[in-house]
Each structure stands twice: as C-alpha cells, then as structure tokens.
C-alpha cells in the first residue's frame, strides 16, 4: 500500500472514531464529583500515554543519530519530539478543563500539573536549542544529547515525583487511589485501552507526514 493507507493508519482512524463515539455518547459510571467529566479519561490520559511513547521514540532516534549520524535520523528525532510536545500541550489543556469541572479551578498548582508543565518546558527548550545553531551537524549532535537528557527527566517528573507529594489531587498520586473498578468499569476499560493505542498511532502518523515534508526539503 505504497500510496494508500497503511494498516496502522486505518487502525488509528477506527480506534479514534470509537473513542469519540463512546466518549460523547457512551454510558459512564455516575460518580460523585467526577460525574460526566469521567468521559475525559478517553482523551486526557491517552494523550499523555501517547506523548510518553512518542517522546521515547524521539530519544531512540537521537541515540541512533549519535551512533550513526544521518540527516534523516535527526529529522525523525526532531519531528517526533514536536509531535510529543503537541500531545503534551493537548494533555495539559484537557487536564485543565477537567480540573475546572472537578476541582473548581483551571490550575491548582497540583504537583502533577507543575511537573508536567516543567517537562513540557524542557522539551520546548529542546526546540529553542535547535534553532540556536547554524551548522547542521553541530545542531544535530547537541540536540541529540539534550533530547536524551530531556527524556531521562520526563519519567521522574511524570511518574515518580508526583507520587512522593502528599497533597496531589490526581488519582494514584499523593496517597490517592488510582482509577480502579469503582470508577473505571469494564465497559470503560474496553474503550480506554484501545484509545491509548489510537492516540499513539495518530502521533506516529502525524510524525510520518512531517518527516516526509522535511525530507523533501533536504538538499
């Protein structure tokens, strides 16, 4: 299917259509505080999962570049990081909307909100760093090292430090129980996990398109 849709693109379309349908039309548990806002679980959390996977792929491309420098590998590292940053911004935005409906404020300085914002600023600095070099190979080498460092910082910022905090409102952090059988019932699980896969596949699809455009611009 050289000029058609690859299997993963079809899968992304199907999974995201199912996510949107059940996200807006499907039945969800009637919960205190969360109420209908639990539907955001199909979007907010999978976006963050997608961001982590995509940024991990970007770090892998950077490692590959350092071991075997190649312009296309550098392009893949950059464009994958941009897609991951996009997903992170969307995740932060959907989280702020969710916070407004459940916590009563867009931004409550929750530890996970703060560490997530710091992680995104680190990756924004990666893009700024790339623009500060004129020589291609020097830019690619320095950016590759920074990209690996950024991903190494991402994991503790998102998954370790918020769990150590005592005042986090996020499920699974600050001593709070994570989503379980009470709020994430069997029907929601059937959509939630495919939604994660759908967002990840969409991220790689977006990245592939951006990489193809950048490759056309190579001398």
Domain boundaries, the chain: 7-216
Q: Under a CB-based contact definition with an 8 Å cutoff, are residues 50 and 87 in contact?
A: yes
Query: What average pLDDT does the segment 49-54 reach?
Result: 96
163 or 211, which is more confident? Answer: 211
pLDDT of residue 57 exceeding 80: yes
6 or 3, which is more confident? Answer: 6
* Confidence band of 50 (pLDDT split at 50, 70, 90): very high
pTM, two decimals, is 0.87
* Confidence band of 101 (pLDDT split at 50, 70, 90): confident
CB contact set of 15 (below 8 Å; sequence gap of 6+): 194, 195, 197, 198, 201
pLDDT of residue 67 exceeding 60: yes
Note the pLDDT tens digit of each residue in 5-35. Answer: 588 889 888 888 888 887 777 666 566 556 6
* Confidence band of 134 (pLDDT split at 50, 70, 90): confident
Mean pLDDT taken over the chain: 85
pLDDT of residue 179 exceeding 60: no
Query: What average pLDDT does the segment 38-64 reach?
Result: 93
* Confidence band of 146 (pLDDT split at 50, 70, 90): very high
The domain made up of 7-216 is a member of CATH 1.20.120 = yes
pLDDT of residue 39 exceeding 90: no
* Confidence band of 180 (pLDDT split at 50, 70, 90): low
Work out the number of other CB atoms within 10 angstroms of the CB of residue 61.
Answer: 24
- Can you tell me whether residue 178 is helix, strand or coil? coil
**Cα three-residue angle 54-57-60, rounded to 5 degrees:** 155
Note the pLDDT tens digit of each residue in 75-84. Answer: 999 999 999 9
- Phi, psi dihedrals of residue 133, rounded to the nearest 5°: -115, 140
pLDDT of residue 204 exceeding 60: yes
Helix axes 111-130, 71-102, angle to 10 degrees: 150
Q: Under a CB-based contact definition with an 8 Å cutoff, are residues 106 and 99 in contact?
A: yes
Residue (of 176, 171, 51, 175) closest to 116 by Cα position: 51
**Per-residue confidence (pLDDT) for residue 182, from 0 to 100:** 44
Q: Under a CB-based contact definition with an 8 Å cutoff, are residues 79 and 214 in contact?
A: yes
pLDDT of residue 118 exceeding 80: yes
- Can you tell me whether residue 116 is helix, strand or coil? helix
pLDDT of residue 205 exceeding 80: yes
Q: Which helix (H) or strand (E) element contains residue 35?
A: none
């Amino acid at each position: 299917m050289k000029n058609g849709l690859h299997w993963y693109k079809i899968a992304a379309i199907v999974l995201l259509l199912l996510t949107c349908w059940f996200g807006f039309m499907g039945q969800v548990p009637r919960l205190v505080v969360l109420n209908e806002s639990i539907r955001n679980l199909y979007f907010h959390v999978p976006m963050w999962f997608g961001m982590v996977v995509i940024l991990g792929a970007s770090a892998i491309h950077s490692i590959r570049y350092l071991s075997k420098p190649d312009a296309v590998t550098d392009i893949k590292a950059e464009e994958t990081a941009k897609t991951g940053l996009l997903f992170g911004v969307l995740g932060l935005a959907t989280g702020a909307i969710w916070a407004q409906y459940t916590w009563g404020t867009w931004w409550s300085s929750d530890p996970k909100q703060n560490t997530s914002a710091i992680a995104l600023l680190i990756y924004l600095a990666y893009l700024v760093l790339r623009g500060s070099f004129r020589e291609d190979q020097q830019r690619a080498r320095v950016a590759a090292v920074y990209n690996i460092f950024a991903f190494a910082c991402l994991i503790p910022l998102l998954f370790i430090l918020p769990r150590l905090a005592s005042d986090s409102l996020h499920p699974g952090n600050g001593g709070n129980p994570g989503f379980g059988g009470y709020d994430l019932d069997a029907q929601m699980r059937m959509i939630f996990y495919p939604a994660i896969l759908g967002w990840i596949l969409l991220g790689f699809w977006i990245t592939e398109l951006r990489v193809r455009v950048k490759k056309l611009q190579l001398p």
